[in-house]
Amino acid sequence: MKRNLRLRTCYTQIIRIFRCPKPTYNSLLAVLTIMCLEARAQSPEQSGAVLSGIVVDTIDHPIAGATVGIKGTSIKTQTDSRGHFSIRAPRGEQLLEIVYLGHQTIREKIDNDNRGPFYFKLLPNENMLEEVEVSTGYQTLPKERATGSFVHIDTELLNRRVSTNILDRLDGVTSGLAFNRNNQVSGNETPISIRGRSTLFANPEPLIILDNFPYEGDLASINPNDVESITVLKDAAAASIWGVRAGNGVIVITSKNGRANQKPSIRFNANATFSAKPDLWYAPQLSSAEFIEVERFLFEKGKYNATINNGYGALSPAVEIMLKGREGKLSDSETEAMLQTLAGQDIRDDLNRYFYQNGLNQQYQLELSGGGVFNDYFISGSTDQNRSQTVADAFHRYTLNARNTYRFFGDRLKLTNGVLFTYTSADANQRQYRPDYPYDRVADSSGNALPVSDGSLRLSYLDALDNNLGLLDWYYRPLDERKANFNNTGTNIRVTNSLSYSIIPSLELSANYLYLKAYSDMTRYDDVNAYYTRNQINSLTQIDPETGQLIRPIPLGGIRSVSTGNQTGHTGRIQASHSHSYFSGQTLHAILGFEMSSSTSEDARTTLYGYKEETAANANGTMNFTADYPYFYRTSRARIDAGVGNSASTDRYISYYGNLSYSILDKYIVSGSFRKDESNLFGVKSNQRGVPLWSAGLLYKLSEEPFFQTNWLPRLALRATYGYNGNIDKSTAALLTARAVGIGPQWNSFYSTITNPPNPSLRWERVRNLNLGVDFALKNNRVDGSIEYYIKQGLDLIGDSPIAPQTGVASYRGNSAATETKGVDVMLNSRITHQPEAFQWSAAFLFNYVRDRVTDFKKERGSNWDIISSNYLNPLVGYPYNSLFAYRWAGLDGEGSPQALLDDAVSKDYTAIRNSTDLLNLRFVGSGAPTVFGSLRNTFGWNGLSLSVNITYKTGYYFRRPSLNNSSLYNSFSYQQADYDRRWQQPGDEKITNVPALIYPANLNRTNIYIYSDVLAVRGDHVRIQDISANYVFNTSKLFAGTVKQLKCYLYANNVGIIWKSNKAGIDPDNRSLPAIRTYAVGLTASF
Amino acid sequence: MKKKIYPLLAAGISLLLFQQCSERFLDAKPSTSLIVPASLEDIENLLDNEAEINQSGGLGQLSADEYYYINKAEWESIFSPSARNAYTWAADLYEGEEFIRDWNTPYTSIFYANSALETLAGMPSGERDSGYGKYLRGRALFIRAFAHFDLVKNFCTAYNPTTVDTDLGIPIRLNAGMDNIAGRSSLSESYNVIINDLEEALEYLPPQFDIEKRNRPSKPACLALLARIYHYMGKYDLAEEQVNACLALYNKLIDYNTVDVERVNPFTRTNDEVIVSISQVIGLFSTVSSMTNTSISIDTVLLALYEPDDLRLQAFYGTRADGYTYKKPGYNDGNYPFTGLATDEMYLIKAECQARRGAAAESMETLNSLLRHRYKTGTYTEQHTDNAREALNSVLEERRKELVWRGIRWMDLKRLNAEGADISLKRILDGNTYELPANSPRWVLPIPDTEITLSGITQNPR
The pLDDT value given to residue A70: 83
Which among A304, A647, A733 is the nearest to B32, CB-wise?
Answer: A647
Question: What is the three-class DSSP state of A986?
Answer: coil
With a CB-CB cutoff of 8 Å, which residues 28-57 of chain A face chain B?
28-29
Residues 6+ apart with CB under 8 A from A175: A151, A825, A826, A827, A846, A848, A934
Nearest to A469 by CA among A525, A523, A570, A542: A542
Please, which pLDDT band fits residue B102 given cuts at 50, 70 and 90?
very high
Nearest to A1076 by CA among A955, A952, A927, A941: A952
Which among A312, A635, A804 is the nearest to B264, CB-wise?
Answer: A635
Residues of chain A found within 8 Å of residue B29, distances taken between Cβ atoms: 650, 680, 682
pTM here is 0.80
Which among A634, A744, A971 is the nearest to B48, CB-wise?
Answer: A744
The pLDDT value given to residue A857: 85
Interface probe for B, chosen from A596, A628, A635 (most Cβ of B below 10 Å), is: A635
Nearest to A956 by CA among A1016, A1021, A1017, A1015: A1021
Question: Are A303 and B73 inside 8 Å of each other by CB?
Answer: yes
For A614-633, give one letter per residue: b (16+ CB within 10 A) or e.
Answer: eeeebbbeebeeeeebbebb
How far is residue A1038 from each of residues A1034, A1044, B427, measured CA to CA in Å?
Answer: 9, 10, 96
The pLDDT value given to residue A646: 87
Q: Where are the alpha helices (DSSP H) in A667-793?
A: none
Residue of B nearest to A734 (CA): B36
Q: CB of B35 within 8 Å of any CB in chain A? A: yes
Question: Are A746 and B50 inside 8 Å of each other by CB?
Answer: yes
Residues of chain A found within 8 Å of residue B335, distances taken between Cβ atoms: 636
Residues 6+ apart with CB under 8 A from B426: B433, B434, B435, B436
pLDDT in tens, B122-153: 999 999 999 999 999 999 999 999 999 999 99
Contact present, A625 and A619 (Cβ < 8 Å): no
In angstroms, the separation between the Cα of residue A804 and the nearest Cα of chain B is 5
The pLDDT value given to residue A125: 62
- ipTM for the complex shown: 0.89
With a CB-CB cutoff of 8 Å, which residues 925-984 of chain A face chain B?
971
Question: Are B176 and A917 inside 8 Å of each other by CB?
Answer: no
Length of chain A in residues, anyone? 1088
Question: E strands within A528-585?
Answer: 542-543, 550-551, 558-581
For B442-459, give one letter per residue: b (16+ CB within 10 A) or e.
Answer: bbbbbbbbbbbbbbebee
pLDDT in tens, B378-409: 999 999 999 999 999 999 999 999 999 999 99
pLDDT in tens, A914-939: 888 899 999 999 999 999 999 999 99
Interface probe for A, chosen from B13, B18, B33 (most Cβ of A below 10 Å), is: B33
Rounded CA-CA distance B325/B290 in Å is: 9
Helix B388-402 with B360-371: angle, nearest 10 deg: 20
Q: Where on the phi/psi map is residue A536: left (φ > 0), alpha (ψ -120 to 50), or beta?
A: alpha
B81-101: average pLDDT: 89
Q: CB of B450 within 8 Å of any CB in chain A? A: yes
The pLDDT value given to residue B5: 65
Instruction: Give the H or E element holding residue A503.
Output: strand A486-504
Question: Are B29 and A682 inside 8 Å of each other by CB?
Answer: yes
pLDDT in tens, A701-759: 998 888 888 888 888 999 999 999 988 777 777 788 888 888 888 888 999 999 888 87
Which among A648, A805, A1005 is the nearest to B32, CB-wise?
Answer: A648
Task: Say whether pLDDT at B2 is over 70.
Answer: no
Pick the range with the lowest mean pLDDT from A665-669, B221-225, B455-459: A665-669
What is the amino acid identity at position A853?
R
Question: Are B32 and A303 inside 8 Å of each other by CB?
Answer: no
With a CB-CB cutoff of 8 Å, which residues 884-913 of chain A face chain B?
910-911
The pLDDT value given to residue A463: 92
For A558-588, give one letter per residue: b (16+ CB within 10 A) or e.
Answer: bbbbbbeeebebebebbbbbbbbbbeeebbb
Residue of A nearest to B328 (CA): A635
Rounded CA-CA distance A493/A217 in Å is: 11
pLDDT in tens, B172-204: 999 888 878 899 999 999 999 999 999 999 999
Question: Are B30 and A915 inside 8 Å of each other by CB?
Answer: no
Residue of B nearest to A596 (CA): B22
Output DSSP code: residue B317: E
In angstroms, the separation between the Cα of residue A336 and the nearest Cα of chain B is 24
Rounded CA-CA distance A850/A825 in Å is: 8
Number of neighbours of residue A336 by Cβ within 10 angstroms: 13
With a CB-CB cutoff of 8 Å, which residues 806-825 of chain A face chain B?
806-810, 812, 814
Contact present, B25 and A654 (Cβ < 8 Å): yes
- Between A and B, how many CB-CB pairs are < 8 A? 271
Question: Are A807 and B92 inside 8 Å of each other by CB?
Answer: no
Question: Are B454 and A805 inside 8 Å of each other by CB?
Answer: yes
The pLDDT value given to residue A45: 42
Nearest to A401 by CA among A272, A227, A279: A227
SS3 content of chain B, % helix, strand, coil (to 5): 50, 10, 40
Contact present, A608 and A621 (Cβ < 8 Å): no
Q: What is the 3-state secondary structure (H, E, C) of A200-245?
A: CCCCCCCEEEECCEECCCCHHHCCHHHEEEEEEECCHHHHHHHHHH
Q: CB of B31 within 8 Å of any CB in chain A? A: yes
Q: CB of B74 within 8 Å of any CB in chain A? A: yes
The pLDDT value given to residue A80: 81
Question: Are B27 and A680 inside 8 Å of each other by CB?
Answer: yes
Residue B181 has φ and ψ, to the nearest 5°, of: -105, 125
Rounded CA-CA distance A979/A996 in Å is: 10
Question: Are A751 and B285 inside 8 Å of each other by CB?
Answer: no
The whole-chain average pLDDT of chain B stands at 90
With a CB-CB cutoff of 8 Å, which residues 741-760 of chain A face chain B?
741, 744-755, 757-759
Rounded CA-CA distance A739/A1028 in Å is: 52
Residues 6+ apart with CB under 8 A from A763: A688, A691, A796, A815
Q: Which residues of chain A have pLDDT under 50?
A: 1-46, 127-130
Rounded CA-CA distance A361/B309 in Å is: 76
Rounded CA-CA distance B397/B405 in Å is: 15
Instruction: Give the H or E element holding residue A540.
Output: none
Rounded CA-CA distance A667/A1017 in Å is: 52
Question: Are B178 and A1001 inside 8 Å of each other by CB?
Answer: no
Contact present, B311 and B266 (Cβ < 8 Å): no
For B150-181, give one letter per residue: b (16+ CB within 10 A) or e.
Answer: bbbbbbbbbbeeeebeebbbbbbbeebebeeb
The pLDDT value given to residue B78: 75
